Amino acid sequence: QVQLVQSGAEVKIPGASVKISCKASGYSFTTYYMHWVRQAPGQGFEWMGMVDPNTGKTNYAQKFQGRVIMTRDTSTGTVYMDLNSLTSDDTAMYYCARERGGSLNFDYWGQGTLVIVSS
Amino acid sequence: QTVVTQEPSLTVSPGGTVTLTCASSTGAVTSGYYPNWFQQKPGQAPRALIYRTNNKHSWTPARFSGSLLGGKAALILSDVQPEDEADYHCLLHYEGGWVFGTGTKLTVL
């Protein structure tokens, strides 16, 4: 069965970076784009960007350009999201979610990774 | 900055029907925005319900449907069940990326 398993919770100080992983299984890894979405406490969702695991091509939301890097490792079926220059506003639950390449159809989501930024 | 607006909260009686909408600050929502809808219950990851306006996933209950109504994307819940109480989020595609709606808290009472 399809599974997206994310890495565990992180606590970071302001100015630091965080790298979250999302390990995919149960399907052809390179067939589906992987998106990253976050949800601040008590807030709605915010789309951060996506990576095409087949090519490594990325598309980032303008808000995060210059501060986020999304990568993939096809040998392990894992995608990564690296966010730097963290502030307290980055405290949120971060999710990966897959989209069949170009289908504009989001289906499976990871379980979420809580990132807390605090001094 | 594009804003996608949903009703903050709605209440429906069990067995009733309710329509949740998703409006874009850029104008009328069309199929070209490829609306997706998600359900989220407290402490859980979102669950996909609808994609590309009106297509259901294999796990989507038949009582959920998607459409376009009055220039907005819509999620219609018929014969609402107590377990449908949740937050619902829409997602629209724009040139360059995606924007989530503000979310609707649905209460079944």
Sign of CA dihedral B44, B93, A22, A77: positive
Residue B107: CB atoms within 10 Å = 11
Say how far apart CA A60 and CA A110 lie, in whole Å.
Answer: 19
Residue B89's pLDDT is 98
Q: Residue holding tokens 């399907």? A: A27
Is the pLDDT assigned to residue B90 strictly greater than 90? Answer: yes
A65-71 long-range contacts (CB < 8 A, ≥24 apart) are A68/A36, A70/A34, A70/A36
Give pLDDT, residue A102. 77
Q: What would the two tokens of residue B8 be?
A: 């903050």
Contacts of B57 in chain A (CB under 8 A): 107
B45: tokens are 């990851």
Interface check for A65 against chain B (CB to CB < 8 A): the answer is no
pLDDT in tens, A14-66: 999 999 999 999 999 999 999 999 999 989 999 999 999 999 999 999 999 99
Q: Which of A62, A97, A107 sits opposite B57 (nearest CB)?
A: A107
CA-nearest of B101, B72, B100 to A35 is B100
B30 CB contacts (<8 Å, ≥6 apart)?
B68
Q: Does B63 touch chain A (CB under 8 A)?
A: no
Per the CB < 8 A criterion, the answer to whether B101 and B94 are in contact is no
What was the pLDDT predicted at A25? 97
So what's the pLDDT on residue B73? 98
Query: What's the pLDDT score for residue A27?
Result: 96
| Cβ–Cβ contact A53 with B under 8 A | no
For chain B, give the mean pLDDT.
97
Using alpha carbons, select from B92, B102, B78 the residue that is nearest to residue B19.
Answer: B78
Sign, CA torsion A51/A93/B45/B6: negative
pLDDT 10s digits, B26-66: 999 999 999 999 999 999 999 999 999 999 999 999 999 99
Q: How far apart are the first and last CA of chain B?
A: 36
Query: What integer is the mean pLDDT of B11-30?
Result: 98
**Residue B104 pLDDT greater than 80, yes or no:** yes
Share of chain A above pLDDT 90, in %: 92
Write the Ramachandran bin of B48: left for phi over 0, alpha for psi from -120 to 50, otherwise beta.
Answer: beta
Q: How confident is the model at residue A103 (pLDDT cuts 50, 70, 90)?
A: confident
What's the pLDDT at A100?
85
Give the pLDDT mean for A64-82: 98
